[in-house]
Amino acid sequence: ARQDLAGQDLAGRRIVISAGGTREPLDPVRYLGNRSSGRQGVALAEAAAARGASVILVAAHLEVPPPAGVDLRPVSTALELQAAVEAAAATADVVIMAAAVADYRPAERRADKIKKDEAGDTFRLDLVKNPDILAGLARAVPRPAVIVGFAAETEADPAARLELGRQKVARKGCDYLVLNRVGWSQGFATESNDIVVLDRRGDIVNEASGTKLSVANCILDVIVQAGTPDHH
Q: Which residues are identified as catalytic?
A: 34
Q: Determine if 182 is a binding residue for ligand CTP (CB under 6 A).
A: no
User: CB 152 → ligand CTP: shortest distance, Å?
Assistant: 6
CA 150 to CA 100: how far, in whole Å? 9
Closest listed residue to residue 146, CA positions, set 11, 54, 16: 16
Answer yes or no: is 212 a known binding residue: no
Answer yes or no: is 172 a known binding residue: yes
Q: Which residues of 8-24 are buried (b: 16+ CB within 10 A; e: fewer)?
A: eebeebbbbbbbbbbbb
Angle 42-174-46 (CA atoms, 0-180°, nearest 5)?
15
Please give the span between the terminal C-alpha atoms of the chain, in angstroms, as a whole number. 31
Question: 119 or 204, CB closer to ligand CTP?
Answer: 204
- Site residues for Ca ion, 102-161, by CB under 5 A, read 103
E strands in the chain: 14-20, 24-27, 30-32, 54-60, 71-75, 94-97, 104-106, 127-129, 146-153, 176-181, 192-199, 204-211
Binding track, positions 58-97, relative to ligand CTP; x by CB under 6 A: --------------------x------------------x
Applying CB under 5 A, which part among 40-48, 55-63, 97-105, 189-197 lies near Ca ion?
97-105
Is residue 27 near Ca ion by the rule CB under 5 A?
no
Output phi, psi for 124, to 5 deg: -100, 140
Residues that bind ligand CTP (rule: CB under 6 A) add up to a total of 13
The verdict on 198 binding ligand CTP (CB under 6 A) reads no
> With CB under 5 A as the contact rule, which of the stretches 11-19, 59-67, 98-106, 206-214 interacts with Ca ion?
98-106
Comparing CB distances to ligand CTP, the nearer of 37 and 130 is 130
CB 204 within 8 A of CB 198: yes
- Residue 159 DSSP SS3: helix
Write out the binding residues for ligand CTP, residues 141-160 only, by CB under 6 A: 149-152
Residue facing Ca ion at closest CB distance: 103
Please, which residues bridge with residue 153 across strands?
A: 181
Min dist. Cβ of residue 211 to ligand CTP (A): 20
Shortest reach from residue 2's CB to Ca ion, in Å: 46
Nearer to Ca ion, 93 or 176 (CB): 176
Q: Provide the edge-to-edge strand list for the sheet that holds 94-97.
A: 71-75, 54-60, 14-20, 94-97, 146-153, 176-181, 192-199, 204-211
Note the residues at the interface with Ca ion (CB under 5 A): 103
Note the residues at the interface with ligand CTP (CB under 6 A): 78, 97, 99, 101, 103, 130, 132-134, 149-152
- Binding site for CTP: residue ranges? 103, 113, 131-134, 150, 168, 172
